[in-house]
Structure 1
Amino acid sequence: MTVDVLIVGAGSAGCVLAERLSRDPARQVLLVERGPADVSSAPLDRLPIDSPARAVSVPEGGGRPVVRGRGLGGSSAINGGYFLRGHRADYVSWPWPEAEIADAFRVATGLMRATPFADAELGDVARAFETWHAGATNTAAWPTEGVNRVWSNRVDGARWTSAHVLAAAGPRPGLTVRPDVEAVALTTRETTVTGVRTADDEVIVAREVIVCAGTLGTAILLSPLTGPLPVHEHAETIVRFTPRRRLRAPALLQSVAHTGGVEIRPYGDDFAAFAALRATGVPIGVADMAGTTGTVDGRAVDLGRPDDAANLRMAGGVESVVAMLTDDAFADLVEPGSIRVDPVTGMSQHAWGSLPAGDATDADGALDGWTRLRVVDGSILPGPLRSGPHASIVMLAVLLGDRL
């Protein structure tokens, strides 16, 4: 069978792209996903990263833990439900008109049911965080410098994922979804991509292949064609404290501060409260948003290291966080003498930018040097954002899905 469009990966981008493209009943769209077909609705106070059916570990050269989602919805089904845009200025140099980006964000926000956390929904850490900062908290859709209330893709306290977007569209005559199908290689003829080969040695032929396997999955799949690819990540230094009492934590992250090139993330409770992990203390993240640069070569993934300037920015953020945790705003939350800084810098699970649009791909995701091949996921983000990439990835799936 030859289909019009083969979409590889049913994650944050793939499900949304399939929904947009399958609106044309004459277009045959096949969506393949290596994970299961069920639509997961985990509550926001839980990170289902311990489920082998929904999460997979990616080996990384520095030994740092990297977990990505699998199954319909991909990482949107296991992440913290953070759906925050970058700042308006972050998109100025991107190869799409600013008005088109704004319109795609409006659609993406509606599709993903994203809304800001209300004052009454704040957990203990987020409330103390905003009290300490004292100024007004921005709750608008576009973040700014200062404190921003997190927008979250959720309905009734549970994640609303890209899989829900696809399911809500209902059956489409031209759309076929095949779970439990792992694409392991692209099939080619000279400089034309003709389809994919699966782990079961099936060859699926398509008039066009769109790879939406997530930044790391896409780079692993494409690097045999392109050679080693760069990859960017947000390095994150963690400051921890031991809580004096049990914390109210309705979600992992409800408020953030953007300042001095870092995003300060007051997580709601110990990660152990959200996932099946050992308790290590309540974390406050200080993430450098300029990004590290690493490489992906086949299945060899290295997320890089923060440079001296990034370390300096994070050190300034850490100093501010320590001052905050010793302030009266946190007096009833922090056990005296328990504040400590993790000795090893971690990563944010935000890989992006290995095939930036306007450079390695064109504005429609077509990969330079190859025909009948496009990429639509975090790989094509053209530059750094002052927020995490999830909302922008969904936005691009809307934008490109409506252009193609």
Structure 2
Amino acid sequence: MPSSLITLATFLIYSWLVQLPLNIRSVGAVTYSATYLPYNAPKKSETGQTGTNQCGTKSSQDSECQNAYLNALDDFCLWAPPANTSSYGDSKIANTEQIEVAWCMRDGYGTRLIPPGAIKGAHFVRTPYYVQVTGVGDLTSMNIPKGDDGGELDPHGYDGLGNPIGGLVFGTPYNGTLRQFHEWTNFMSSNAFCFRVCPDGPLAPTYCEHIYDTLGCGWNMPGNYSEGFSSCEGDPTQPMGVYTYKGANGVVTTSTFHQGDPSTPSAHPAAKSSSCTYFATLSAYNDNAPAATPTASLLPSSVSASLSRVSVTSVAAVSSESTASVASVTSIASTSKPTGGSSPTSTTSSHTGAAPASIDRGSLLATLTMGLTSLLFGFWAISRI
């Protein structure tokens, strides 16, 4: 047999053996390059970060803390500008996305406090795949200019460093256990907000997708955007941008929308919710009531940061219903742009805590088929020697 054919057969087998484990790894568990808790986070977790992740416990309206929390209806944070001006002029979200700081409803995190009265409506929903809070208010008191249509904040950003750069998100909504959420998305405007966090797992990047940054809250996070307050358990909505259809022949197909496609599909309807409790006001909201004292299982005894979930008894209850009302909302458009240029709609850049790129199952199947064919041909060629 010619030596060239032997070489080709050997190369094909080698290529397949090298390629196979790479594809197997791509469908395995999602991994991250760093995981922190508030007490062991570095001063700055990313290059170019303007704020800090070592925030202590003393809240201040001058805080540069870039740690946010999503725990409960009356214990969550939002990202917003640190000042009412920026290097671009005003402080609209598009101009400040890389330098936002955390504004929280509870004292004790070392952040700024959301001013009393700013939140007119907040609706907390916990599902197996994500926790989210959606709502409305006058967010101009958080340095967002009146009339700003807003934009998206997420842990990726156009440069892979996150918006804000170095922003970390923590919470205790699942079993009271403090964790870092590596996947999250937050849309902010001058009059509405939505914030979703996803616990680590294979579906976290899907349910907290970050590439639909011009489509706003209503499209990305269907939910209740009315005034008033509620806390519910819920089923997950379908992931943003993923659509499943059942044809007349009974065959189910799934398609993925990409921002910029000729036609934008409608938002998914909000999923069912249950075990809802409704509230007239958040009675302890920003009256300097600290978050509950952490237990030893969350933090070492030398750390006094208040990080555990706040009891719902701090909220003035009105009624409890089996289902929650869902109000329609006009999506918050985003005019986000990166510092120094235009932003692509997605990024594959890696960074501290970044998720790997999502899996293209069609490409993976094609790769497996091609590899198996190469493997069989290689063995056949060698057998002919």
Which structure would you say has the larger RCO, counting Cα contacts within 8 Å and 6 or more residues apart? 1
Larger Rg: 2
**TM bucket, shorter chain:** under 0.3
Higher helix share: 1
